[in-house]
Structure 1
Amino acid sequence: MSTIRLKNIKIYAFHGCMIEEGQIGSDYLVNISVKANLNKAAETDELHDTVDYVHIQKIVKNEMAIRSKLLEHVGQRIISTVFQEIRMVDEVTVTVSKVNPPIGGDVAEVSVTMSAKR
């Protein structure tokens, strides 16, 4: 089993429970790793034999564009879509972080990490 990681995908989105969060938006960082058997790709050197990280980034971007109140909901949608669209993937771990959250304190970010296996 091998791992492909995308680190600190920067996205501006509109998630949150407060009305203002849906109107103003904020910065997010998404980290995602997927596990799959990449032995064939290592031998063939062909893109169709591996997990295309461009496809993973597209899934993250599309799911982050759909407003949610909770980071957990966004994370689960990302995981579900990866499993639906990329059959090679056996396991997904995703962390969705809201940078400078409006929680009345000096907090750099809040994040939710979720994992699932096929």
Structure 2
Amino acid sequence: MDNIKINGIKTYAYHGALDAERVLGQFFITDVTMYLDLRAASENDDLEGTVHYGEAYELVEQVIKSEPVNLIEHLAEKVIRALFDRYDKILEMDVTITKPSPPIDGHYENVSITLNRKREN
């Protein structure tokens, strides 16, 4: 299936289960893959046949900056719901949220989760 990807949306926000995360905040990196039929856009050169990725970016950023949540899993679900609500062309979506510096000891690059959701009829 065709897809649109928006990768590496870097947003400073205050999500986390620990009090320190809610006070100090941290960066979150969001990657979104939206699956949809892009045939009309590719054949007709018409924005109506696709999802405006600039607007989608702004919506994702708005969700990430919104009211703090405990889990990045829940945050990813909020991103998915917002995009599905805004764009009926999206049939399926992958959303990955990465915490580059979570408050855990150890040597690692980052921690991330990915949710995959299909539009329910």
* Mapped pair 1:90 → 2:91: yes
Unaligned runs of 5+ in 1: none
- SS of the residue corresponding to residue 70 of structure 2 reads coil
Task: Please report how far the alpha carbon of residue 10 of structure 1 lies from its aligned counterpart in structure 2 after TM superposition.
Answer: 0.9
1:52 paired residue number: 52
CA RMSD of aligned residues (A): 1.0
- SS of the residue corresponding to residue 101 of structure 1 reads coil
- SS of the residue corresponding to residue 69 of structure 1 reads coil
* Mapped pair 1:80 → 2:76: no
- SS of the residue corresponding to residue 8 of structure 2 reads strand
Structure-2 separation of matches of 1:33 and 1:55: 14
Unaligned runs of 5+ in 2: none
1:41 paired residue number: 41
For residues 61-117 of structure 1, what are the alpha-carbon distances to aligned partners after superposition, in whole Å with 9 as ceiling and x for unaligned? Answer: 011012111001100001111111001000010000011111122332111100100
- SS of the residue corresponding to residue 21 of structure 2 reads helix
Task: Please report how far the alpha carbon of residue 41 of structure 1 lies from its aligned counterpart in structure 2 after TM superposition.
Answer: 0.6
Structure-1 separation of matches of 2:107 and 2:11: 21
1:16 paired residue number: 16
Q: How many corresponding residue pairs?
A: 118
Higher strand share: 1
Structure-2 separation of matches of 1:73 and 1:91: 18
Structure-1 separation of matches of 2:108 and 2:56: 29
Structure-2 separation of matches of 1:14 and 1:107: 21
Runs of 4+ in 1 over 3 A off after TM superposition: none
